């Protein structure tokens, strides 16, 4: 087993763990944060699998933009509930 | 002009013309319809009997026609009924909600009829069959009930799809849709399958026992001038299919050989048909006995007569089959006459309920005669057509020694006396109701004319059957059966010879004597209402009974509980389908997205378990 | 309980899928792929239209496709039609978000929970410039280095997002973005049509491809990537704007 | 290994859709499916000891062993499409929230 | 100029991009683009394989223009134009969405690349979600979105497994590779089934289609016919192409039985669901589910030609039916069949056309549906698929019963008169479609001329 394999295994386990947390977390914002973390982890896995293009795109779009959109949605809802 | 194709085109064209004419003036459109129908009938009658109909196809290349004796026999009967009924249109069509389409659909369904009987391949047969289904289906809701069309369509569709299934099986064997080729190619299990499928079609069209629910619904609720068409004409489509099923598929492939047993020498399939046919006779009779609505009563009588036809075909001897064919004609004439008479009454009074009518004989004597002759024929009493056919059928039944069938057949005949007498008594005889005394008149001439023609034919078929039997003999030969031996005046049966003319003469003589006695010894006495009693049923309060309400109450009480079983069965079937639908909605169509995902997961799991493990 | 069953079912499905794939002789094992079996090798060798020979970075000139980044060569040249579709997907989602959230064009900014101070505002402006420049760089070097129009465009959009977050009064000119979006999208299609007119096929490269590795190489790829960058940037900025505004009626 | 994790990730996403009645959580689950799918796609193109498919001055020849570039190109497309779907889903979620005042499907009643 | 087919996608796209610049111009752009598409399609686009980007298959993306896709394009573009013409005034703000939808649908029908197909699936899918937002039922749209996204993800998943196995994304290349190497069908089960389910979601096959109800039961004159006729036709064509070339290679033995059982049960249950419904639009939508299942069933059985005609007949009929009912519902406010009673008694012409469409769907003679039904049943019989035949026939009885019930209710008023007014444009469209149904039901020669060409082209694709 090479180092890459070991790292990949670790990443895989982390991926699954975080995915489960994202699904099962009670608070929405937690779910969103876990999703973002999952996305970052996937970036790691892309890098491991020699896909820098995808990694960059996922980092910017998947992890950054999507999280921002989720947060904005929740933000506007909280504003509404405050009133 | 006797080109079938041109006749069809003519009917389509005149359908369109009648639409606009009816829109302009419904009377004019209806008269136009009469002339169109008459033209078609005249062309068929002029050239058909000598076999000179032109079956070439010039305009519509996909069609192809052939004139067969059987097809022509059916066609001429049904077109005749259409023609007779069309005389009623000027008086009825104007009242209907979509009067323009009434004449159109009438003419179109007539086109379908011609297409059916002159078809020379099964596809065209099916096409015409389905065409009749929807054109006639659209006519029914113009009558009383809107639901009737639904059950009519349901059973018709079940029948025609079953037939289609059979046709397709046949096609897979013979490789073509040709009728003769297809029927000849069947053997073994496929023959049985096709036989059953065609029988389903025949039964559901005839309204025979397991598929009879639609008959009273459709006949009873159809527009008055359309009920005679349904009962006298369209029901006979079932008999047409039955000829294919019973007489052309199975004879070459008997299921079980009864040669060494005491049972009659009939293949099992046909035997089942005979049994089901006799059940139809019994049930139809019983249901008719308890019915209040005159049209529904006649509808049940159609069911029982369908049973006669099936029994006749099922027995398969020349005599029986000839009787079956003759019965088709006799019943078409009788039931058309009866329904038309009732339509005439309904036209003048507005109801067909026997409990609401009475004493019409005073106002509508001719209609009364028409009805009387029709029911005499239906009951199989000489000197009417029904007698001849029943005589032939009875002979065959006895010949075969089928005791239970014979009981059923005789019961049906006796039952006919019971039920056909009721409308006669209720509608035409008895006390004249006050509300109808003033305004009711005899039906107009244009309506009386077809009724009288039919009456004349009813008598003619009962007195001089030889011409018609000669024709049916040709059909028997086509089917590979020996012709029934007839002379100018006699029909030679296995157990004796029948001379209808002589019987008619005797019968007429008896009637004359009875009439003289009736005139001479005429002294009727008035009784109070409480003194009226019939069929051993006591009258408990002072109500207008005149043989209508609870006429056969003691008899009815025996079986009234069971009369709705089949209806309930089909209703339950519908409810079950509905439940499946609701369950399906619950399973698949709920608002949770998870359900769909669950199904996806489940199906993939199922497949992968199969694949991987 | 229900959830447990669902979980077990799902995991069972996953395991079965894995088993099915491992049992599948045709499906290449993870990490042991022979590219020669796949169409991809031709993308690497740039010999789809026949041009055998090794491609050397900085030396080979005028190959069928001039991008040093092979992924880019696929995205913007070999399978450019997919990318056109991809741009359309983003376009229509931006359109849809606007249709759903901003149907009256009279929205106002969503108020934030905090008051941004002066430092934040100035700092974010500075950062804005840096991110913007990075985005532009990524777009321009899309055919040489990882990145390209999509991440670059998103970076531009996120620089604008920064401004939104730093100032609760800030709004961009949505009209301007729309113009950019529409024009950039149209130009992409027009470039495709130019390919049809100047060369033979839709979306065909009609410029010289230059030397592999040069900034000014790879024919239309940089131009397309710039257009994509502009379009993606303006679309995502539009989406952000729609999410950070509210219809006045609902307030 | 990571390929299997990707498949399980997809299945996790399906499970999330199955078990959650919350609209936002559903969109999160959808995203998990997409992430899993993307990792799977990349993993299909991975080659041990392969290098990233970019010609540079150090890896300057096309004759070297590269990982499969095509799946990477596909994933680029898939990511962007995923963002589009997510953005639209979130916009719809906002709309639903303004209509029903909740993200929970169970609290919305039967009138759609 | 065989590349002209690309314009069918490019023109709507460029029009879409331009259309967001000005709201006033957008509707005109939509009209012009869809009109140009129709003209292009019928007069200028030649048959052949269209290469995009100058790279031949399997490396580049290519479009197929054959009789199959041309038939699909014809139906879809013409119906699209018609529906757009009828709705352009009311739904101006959906112009850009509709343009993208048109591009997506044409792309779906044309593309020969499986990944490209996914992209167009997403484009047209998102456009469809947006079209359904005009129902103002965000929850239903959301459900459509989630299920649609899962469906296309599954499709992509299956596709990638195929890519991992055979190293190509091109349909023809993949098929010829599989055939050339005699790949064991059991290796294809998982990806084929994933693709089947993924497309099945879009084609509203039964267990995967809970989105249909929400979307269509509150539809309007735009979204109803768009989703039920245009989209359904497109997806069926695409599905047909995939099934007929790729998936049949996997559908052998037990898997074939599973798929056929799935479809047959789907047909029956969908008809039963329609039977159990009282709202007219629910009846229509369940019936269209059943019809879609029949279409797919035919494709699975390799009965391409009549599946195509069934798609066409359904698209035509469903356009009329949904337009009529949605207009009536809009004016009347309710689509309960009891409350719409007698809606045709004042609109005889519309009623006749609606009845013609219904009778055609029921497969009664004189109308196109009959010819199609008879022929596909014959083909099934030739293939000795008796069980399927029986299921279809039994379902047809159920279908006939509820349609007759519905028709009678719509024709005969009970108490209160329902007043619905149809514009001239609607009437013209209805009459035109009814005449087409009648013409193709009586004069079947045109159907038979297409006969050979579709089969041969399918073979061309088969052979790569």
What pLDDT, on the 0 to 100 scale, is given for residue C250? 43
Domain limits for position A41: 3-82
The pLDDT of residue E451 is above 60: no
Q: Choose the weakest-confidence range: B127-131, B314-318, B601-605, C195-199.
A: C195-199
Test C16 with B612 for CB contact under 8 angstroms: yes
How far apart are the CA of D93 and the nearest CA of chain B, in angstroms?
A: 14
Test E400 with B165 for CB contact under 8 angstroms: no
pLDDT digits (tens, 9 = 90+) for E329-341: 888 877 777 778 8
Residues on chain C touching A80 (C-beta within 8 angstroms): 250
With CA atoms as reference, report the closest residue to E66 among E462, E451, E456.
E456
Residues on chain B touching E210 (C-beta within 8 angstroms): 588-593, 595-596
What pLDDT, on the 0 to 100 scale, is given for residue C251? 39
By C-alpha distance, the chain D residue nearest E132 is D92
Domain limits for position E279: 255-464
Q: Which of E277, E359, E397 sits opposite B158 (nearest CB)?
A: E397
Mean pLDDT of B223-227: 87
Q: Which of C28, C92, C204 sits opposite E123 (nearest CB)?
A: C92
pLDDT digits (tens, 9 = 90+) for E153-210: 999 999 999 988 888 888 888 888 888 888 888 888 888 889 999 999 888 888 888 8
Q: Choose the weakest-confidence range: B105-114, E117-126, E342-351.
A: E342-351
Residues on chain D touching C38 (C-beta within 8 angstroms): 68, 70
Residues E10-26 as b or e (16 or more Cβ within 10 Å = b):
bbbbbbbbbbbbeeeeb
Q: What are phi and psi of B537, to 5 degrees?
A: -105, 120
Q: Which of C62 and B255 is assigned the larger pLDDT? A: C62
Same domain, B525 and B595: no
Mean pLDDT of C65-87: 84
What whole-number distance in Å separates Cα of residue D22 and Cα of residue E216? 23
Q: Which of C147, C157, C161 sits opposite A53 (nearest CB)?
A: C147
Q: How many CB pairs under 8 A join A and D?
A: 132
Chains D and B: 3 or more CB pairs within 8 Å of each other: yes
By C-alpha distance, the chain A residue nearest C70 is A53
Test E116 with C81 for CB contact under 8 angstroms: yes
Test A62 with D32 for CB contact under 8 angstroms: no
Count of domains for chain A: 1
Instruction: Let me know if residue E314 belongs to a domain.
Output: yes
Residues ≥6 apart with Cβ < 8 Å to B594: C6, D17, D18, D19, D20, D21
Same domain, B547 and B571: no
Q: Which of C25, C93, C204 sits opposite E54 (nearest CB)?
A: C204
What pLDDT, on the 0 to 100 scale, is given for residue E463? 46
Q: C53 at the E interface (CB within 8 A)?
A: no
Chain C residues interacting with chain A (CB cutoff of 8 angstroms): 69, 71-72, 110-113, 138, 146-148, 150-151, 154-155, 157-158, 161, 236, 239-240, 243-244, 246, 250
Q: Which of B592, B598, B600 sits opposite D105 (nearest CB)?
A: B592
Q: C57 at the D interface (CB within 8 A)?
A: yes
Q: Is C176 helix (H, G, I), strand (E, B) or coil?
A: helix
Model confidence band, residue C197 (pLDDT cutoffs 50, 70, 90) = confident
Q: B595 at the E interface (CB within 8 A)?
A: yes
Q: Is there a cis peptide before residue B383, judged by omega within 30 degrees of 0?
A: yes
What whole-number distance in Å separates Cα of residue B573 and Cα of residue B173? 33
By C-alpha distance, the chain A residue nearest D48 is A49
Instruction: Let me know if residue B304 belongs to a domain.
Output: yes
Domain limits for position B47: 1-140
Residues on chain B touching C20 (C-beta within 8 angstroms): 608, 611-612
Note the residue count of chain E.
464
How far apart are the CA of A19 and the nearest CA of chain D, in angstroms?
A: 7
What pLDDT, on the 0 to 100 scale, is given for residue A82? 45
| Neighboring chains of A (3 or more beta-carbon pairs < 8 A) | C, D
| Neighboring chains of B (3 or more beta-carbon pairs < 8 A) | C, D, E
Same domain, B367 and B320: yes
Q: B598 at the D interface (CB within 8 A)?
A: yes
Chain E, 12-71: which have a CB under 8 Å from a chain B CB? none
Q: Which of C110, C151, C246 sits opposite A61 (nearest CB)?
A: C151
With CA atoms as reference, report the closest residue to E418 among E359, E343, E318.
E343
What pLDDT, on the 0 to 100 scale, is given for residue B63? 77
What does the domain layout of chain D look like in residue ranges?
A: 2-108
Model confidence band, residue E267 (pLDDT cutoffs 50, 70, 90) = very high
Residues on chain C touching E127 (C-beta within 8 angstroms): 92
- Lookup result for tokens 């430092």: C119
Q: Which of C38, C86, C96 sits opposite D68 (nearest CB)?
A: C38
Test D14 with B591 for CB contact under 8 angstroms: no
Same domain, B603 and B507: no
Handedness of CA B253, B254, B255, B260 (dihedral sign): negative
Say what percent of chain A tops pLDDT 70: 92
Mean pLDDT of A52-73: 86
Per-10-residue mean pLDDT of chain D, 112 residues long, equals 88 88 88 91 86 81 83 89 90 85 75 54
What pLDDT, on the 0 to 100 scale, is given for residue B551? 66
Mean pLDDT of E306-318: 89
What whole-number distance in Å separates Cα of residue E186 and Cα of residue E167? 18
Residues on chain D touching B600 (C-beta within 8 angstroms): 14
Residue of D7, D13, D16, D17 to mutate, testing the B interface (most B Cβ within 10 Å of its Cβ)? D17
Please tell me the pTM assigned to this model.
0.91
Q: What is the dihedral of CA C156, C160, C165, C170, to 10 degrees?
A: 180
Q: D78 at the A interface (CB within 8 A)?
A: no
How far apart are the CA of B61 and the nearest CA of chain E, in angstroms?
A: 10
What whole-number distance in Å separates Cα of residue E350 and Cα of residue E428? 10
What pLDDT, on the 0 to 100 scale, is given for residue B436? 61
Mean pLDDT of B446-462: 88
Residues on chain E touching D74 (C-beta within 8 angstroms): 115, 160
Q: C75 at the D interface (CB within 8 A)?
A: yes
Mean pLDDT of B129-147: 84
The pLDDT of residue B231 is above 70: yes
Q: Is there a cis peptide before residue B384, judged by omega within 30 degrees of 0?
A: no
Test D21 with B592 for CB contact under 8 angstroms: yes
Q: How many CB pairs under 8 A join B and D?
A: 19
How far apart are the CA of C200 and the nearest CA of chain A, in angstroms?
A: 30
DSSP string, chain D: -HHHHHHHHHHHHHHHHHH--BHHHHHHHHHHHHHHHHHHHHHHT-BTT-B-SB--SSS-BTTS-B--HHHHHHHHHHHHHHHHHHHHHHHHHHHHHHHHS-SBGGGG-S--
Residues on chain B touching C23 (C-beta within 8 angstroms): 612
Model confidence band, residue A69 (pLDDT cutoffs 50, 70, 90) = confident
The pLDDT of residue C248 is above 60: no
Chain D, 6-65: which have a CB under 8 Å from a chain C CB? 7-8, 10-12, 14-15, 18-19, 43-48, 52-57, 59-63
What pLDDT, on the 0 to 100 scale, is given for residue E105? 92
How far from chain centre, in Å, is Cα D95? 23
pLDDT digits (tens, 9 = 90+) for C220-234: 888 888 888 888 888
Residues ≥6 apart with Cβ < 8 Å to C59: C211, C212, D60
Model confidence band, residue C110 (pLDDT cutoffs 50, 70, 90) = low
What whole-number distance in Å separates Cα of residue E441 and Cα of residue E313? 10
What pLDDT, on the 0 to 100 scale, is given for residue B536? 58
What whole-number distance in Å separates Cα of residue B103 and Cα of residue B442? 25
Count of domains for chain B: 3
Burial class (CB in 10 A: 0-12, 13-18, 19+), B350: exposed
Chains B and A: 3 or more CB pairs within 8 Å of each other: no
Q: Which of C174 and C87 is assigned the larger pLDDT? A: C87
Of B119, B140, B161, the domain-final residue: B140
Model confidence band, residue E464 (pLDDT cutoffs 50, 70, 90) = very low
Residues on chain A touching C138 (C-beta within 8 angstroms): 56
Q: Is B443 helix (H, G, I), strand (E, B) or coil?
A: coil
- Domain D2-108 - what CATH class? mainly alpha
DSSP string, C73-125: IIIIIITHHHHHHHHHHHHHHHHHHHHHH-SSS--EEPPPSS---HHHHHHHH
With contact defined as beta carbons under 8 Å apart, do B91 and B20 qualify?
no
Handedness of CA B416, B417, B422, B425 (dihedral sign): positive
Q: E165 at the C interface (CB within 8 A)?
A: yes
Count of domains for chain E: 1
Q: What are phi and psi of E59, to 5 degrees?
A: -80, -45
What whole-number distance in Å separates Cα of residue E353 and Cα of residue D64? 68
Say what percent of chain B tops pLDDT 90: 2
Residues on chain A touching D65 (C-beta within 8 angstroms): none
The whole-chain average pLDDT of chain C stands at: 80
Residues ≥6 apart with Cβ < 8 Å to B206: B235, B238, B239, B242, B303, B306, B309, B310
Mean pLDDT of E410-438: 84
């Amino acid at each position: 087993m090479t180092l890459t394999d070991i790292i990949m295994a670790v990443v895989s386990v982390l991926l699954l763990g975080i995915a489960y947390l994202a699904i099962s977390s009670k608070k929405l914002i937690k779910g969103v944060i876990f999703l973002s973390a999952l996305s970052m982890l996937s970036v790691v896995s892309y890098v491991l699998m020699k896909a820098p293009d995808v990694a960059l795109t996922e980092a910017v779009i998947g992890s950054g933009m999507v999280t921002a959109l989720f947060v904005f949605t929740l933000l506007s809802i909280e504003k509404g509930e405050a009133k | 002009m006797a080109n079938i194709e041109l006749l069809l085109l003519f009917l389509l064209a005149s359908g369109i013309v009648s639409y606009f004419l009816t829109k302009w003036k419904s009377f004019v459109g209806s008269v136009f319809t009469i002339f169109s129908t008459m033209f078609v009938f005249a062309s068929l009658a002029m050239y058909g009997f000598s076999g000179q109909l032109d079956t070439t196809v010039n305009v519509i290349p996909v069609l192809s026609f052939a004139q067969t004796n059987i097809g022509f026999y059916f066609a001429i009967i049904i077109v005749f009924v259409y023609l007779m009924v069309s005389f009623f249109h000027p008086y009825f069509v104007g009242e209907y909600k979509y009067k323009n389409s009434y004449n159109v659909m009438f003419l179109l369904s007539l086109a379908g009829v011609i297409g059916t009987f002159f078809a020379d391949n099964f596809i065209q047969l099916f096409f015409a069959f389905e065409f009749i289904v929807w054109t006639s289906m659209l006519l029914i809701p113009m009558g009383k009930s809107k639901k009737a069309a639904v059950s009519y369509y349901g059973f018709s569709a079940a029948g025609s799809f079953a037939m289609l299934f059979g046709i397709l099986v046949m096609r897979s064997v013979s490789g073509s849709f040709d009728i003769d080729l297809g029927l000849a190619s069947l053997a073994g299990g496929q023959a049985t399958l096709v036989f059953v499928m065609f029988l389903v079609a025949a039964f559901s069209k005839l309204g025979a026992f397991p598929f009879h629910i639609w008959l009273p619904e459709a006949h009873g609720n159809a527009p008055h001038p359309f009920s005679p068409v349904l009962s006298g004409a369209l029901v006979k489509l079932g008999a047409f299919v039955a000829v294919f099923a019973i007489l052309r598929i199975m004879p070459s492939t008997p299921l079980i050989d009864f040669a060494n047993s005491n049972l009659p020498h009939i293949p099992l399939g046909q035997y089942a048909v005979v049994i089901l046919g006799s059940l139809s006779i019994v049930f139809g009779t019983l249901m008719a006995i308890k019915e209040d609505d005159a049209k529904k009563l006649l509808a049940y009588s159609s069911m029982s007569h369908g049973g006669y036809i099936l029994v006749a075909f099922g027995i398969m001897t020349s005599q029986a089959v000839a009787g079956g064919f003759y019965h088709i004609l006799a019943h078409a004439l009788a039931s058309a006459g009866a329904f038309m008479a009732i339509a005439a009454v309904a036209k003048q009074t507005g109801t067909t309920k026997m409990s609401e009518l009475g004493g019409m004989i005073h106002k509508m004597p001719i209609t009364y005669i028409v009805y009387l002759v029709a029911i005499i024929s239906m009951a199989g009493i000489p000197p009417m057509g029904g007698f001849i056919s029943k005589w032939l059928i009875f002979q065959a039944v006895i010949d075969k020694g089928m005791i239970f069938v014979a009981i059923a057949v005789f019961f049906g005949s006796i039952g006919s006396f019971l039920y056909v007498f009721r409308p006669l008594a209720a509608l035409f005889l008895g006390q004249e109701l006050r509300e109808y005394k003033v305004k009711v008149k005899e039906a107009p001439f244009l309506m009386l004319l077809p009724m009288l023609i039919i009456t004349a034919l009813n008598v003619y078929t009962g007195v001089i059957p030889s011409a018609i039997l000669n024709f049916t003999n040709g059909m028997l030969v086509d089917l590979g059966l020996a012709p029934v031996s007839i002379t100018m005046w006699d029909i030679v049966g296995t157990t004796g010879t029948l001379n209808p003319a002589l019987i008619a003469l005797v019968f007429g003589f008896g009637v004359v004597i009875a009439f003289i006695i009736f005139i001479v010894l005429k002294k009727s006495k008035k009784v109070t209402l409480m003194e009226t009693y019939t069929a051993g049923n006591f009258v408990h309060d002072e109500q207008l009974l005149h043989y209508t309400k609870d006429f056969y109450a003691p008899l009815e009480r025996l079986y009234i509980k069971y009369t709705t079983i089949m209806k309930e069965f089909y209703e339950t079937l519908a409810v079950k389908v509905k439940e499946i639908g609701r369950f399906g909605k619950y399973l698949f169509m709920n608002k949770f997205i998870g359900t769909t995902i669950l199904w996806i997961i489940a199906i993939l799991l199922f497949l992968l378990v199969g694949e991987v493990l | 309980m229900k959830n447990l069953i669902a979980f077990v079912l799902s995991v069972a499905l996953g395991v079965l899928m894995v088993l099915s794939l491992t049992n599948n002789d045709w499906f290449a094992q993870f990490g042991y792929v022979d590219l020669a079996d796949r169409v991809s090798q031709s993308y690497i060798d740039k010999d789809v239209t026949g041009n055998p020979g090794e491609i050397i970075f900085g030396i080979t000139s005028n190959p069928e496709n001039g991008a040093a980044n092979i992924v880019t060569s696929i995205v913007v040249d070999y399978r450019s039609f997919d990318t056109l579709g991809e741009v359309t997907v983003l376009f229509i989602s931006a359109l849809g978000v606007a249709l759903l959230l901003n149907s009256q064009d009279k929205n106002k900014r969503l108020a934030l929970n905090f008051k941004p101070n002066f430092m934040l505002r100035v700092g974010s402006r500075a950062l804005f410039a840096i991110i913007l420049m990075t985005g532009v760089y990524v777009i321009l070097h899309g055919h040489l280095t990882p990145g390209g129009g999509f991440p670059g465009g998103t970076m531009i959009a996120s620089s604008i997002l920064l401004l939104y977050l730093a100032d609760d009064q800030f709004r961009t000119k949505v009209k301007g973005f729309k113009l950019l979006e529409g024009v950039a999208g149209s130009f992409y299609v027009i470039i495709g049509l130019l390919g049809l007119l100047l060369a033979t096929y839709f979306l065909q490269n009609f410029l010289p491809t230059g030397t592999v590795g040069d900034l000014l190489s790879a024919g239309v790829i940089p131009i397309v990537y710039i257009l994509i960058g502009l379009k993606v940037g303006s679309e995502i900025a539009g989406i952000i704007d729609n999410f950070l505004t509210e219809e006045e009626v609902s307030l | 290994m990571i390929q299997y994790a990707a498949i399980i990730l997809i299945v996790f996403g399906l499970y999330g859709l199955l078990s959650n009645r919350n609209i936002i959580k559903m969109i999160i689950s959808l995203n998990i499916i997409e992430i899993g799918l993307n990792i799977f796609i990349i993993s299909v193109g991975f080659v041990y000891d392969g290098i990233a498919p970019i010609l540079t001055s150090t890896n300057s020849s096309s004759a070297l062993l590269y990982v499969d570039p095509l799946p990477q190109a596909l994933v680029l497309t898939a990511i962007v499409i995923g963002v589009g779907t997510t953005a639209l889903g979130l916009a719809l979620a906002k709309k639903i929230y303004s209509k029903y005042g909740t993200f929970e499907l169970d609290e919305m009643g039967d009138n759609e | 100029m065989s590349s002209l087919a690309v314009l069918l996608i490019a023109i709507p796209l460029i029009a879409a991009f331009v259309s967001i610049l000005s709201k006033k111009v957008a509707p005109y752009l939509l009209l012009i683009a869809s009109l140009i598409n129709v003209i292009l399609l019928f007069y200028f686009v030649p048959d052949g394989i269209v290469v995009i980007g100058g790279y031949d298959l399997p490396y580049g993306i290519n479009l197929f223009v054959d009789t199959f896709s041309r038939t699909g394009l014809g139906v879809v573009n013409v119906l699209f134009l018609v529906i757009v013409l009828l709705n352009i005034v009311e739904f101006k703000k959906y112009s850009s969405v509709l343009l993208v939808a048109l591009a997506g649908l044409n792309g779906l029908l044309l593309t020969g690349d499986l990944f490209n197909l996914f992209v167009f699936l997403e484009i047209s899918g998102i456009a469809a979600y947006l079209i359904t937002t005009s129902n103002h039922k965000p929850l239903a749209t959301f459900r459509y979105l989630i299920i649609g996204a899962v469906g296309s993800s599954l499709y992509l998943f299956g596709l990638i497994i195929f890519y991992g196995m055979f190293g190509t994304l091109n349909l023809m290349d993949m098929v010829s590779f599989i055939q050339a190497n005699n790949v064991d069908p059991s290796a294809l089960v998982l990806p084929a089934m994933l693709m089947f389910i993924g497309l099945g979601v879009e084609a509203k096959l039964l267990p995967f289609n809970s989105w249909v109800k929400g979307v269509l039961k509150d539809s309007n004159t735009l979204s109803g016919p768009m989703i039920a006729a245009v989209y359904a036709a497109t997806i069926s064509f695409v599905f047909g192409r995939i099934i007929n070339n790729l998936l049949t290679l996997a559908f052998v033995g037990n898997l074939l039985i599973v798929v056929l059982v799935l479809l047959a049960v789907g047909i029956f249950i969908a008809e039963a669901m329609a039977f159990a419904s009282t709202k007219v639009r629910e009846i229509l939508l369940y019936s269209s589910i059943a019809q879609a299942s029949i279409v797919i069933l035919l494709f699975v059985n390799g009965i391409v030609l009549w599946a195509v005609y069934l798609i066409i007949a359904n698209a035509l009929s469903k356009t009329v039916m949904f337009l009529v009912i949605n207009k009536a519902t809009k004016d009347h406010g309710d689509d309960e069949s009891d409350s719409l009673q007698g809606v045709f008694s004042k609109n005889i012409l519309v009623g006749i056309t609606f009845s013609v469409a219904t009778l055609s769907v029921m497969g009664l003679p004189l109308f196109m549906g009959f010819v199609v039904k008879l022929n596909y049943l014959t083909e099934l019989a030739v293939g000795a698929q008796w069980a399927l035949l029986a299921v279809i026939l039994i379902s047809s009885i159920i279908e006939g019963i509820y349609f007759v019930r519905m028709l009678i209710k719509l024709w005969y008023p009970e108490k209160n008169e329902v007043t619905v007014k149809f514009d001239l444009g609607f009437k013209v469209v209805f009459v035109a479609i009814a005449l087409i149904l009648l013409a193709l039901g009586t004069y079947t020669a045109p159907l038979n001329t297409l006969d050979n060409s579709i089969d041969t082209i399918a073979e061309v694709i088969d052979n790569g």
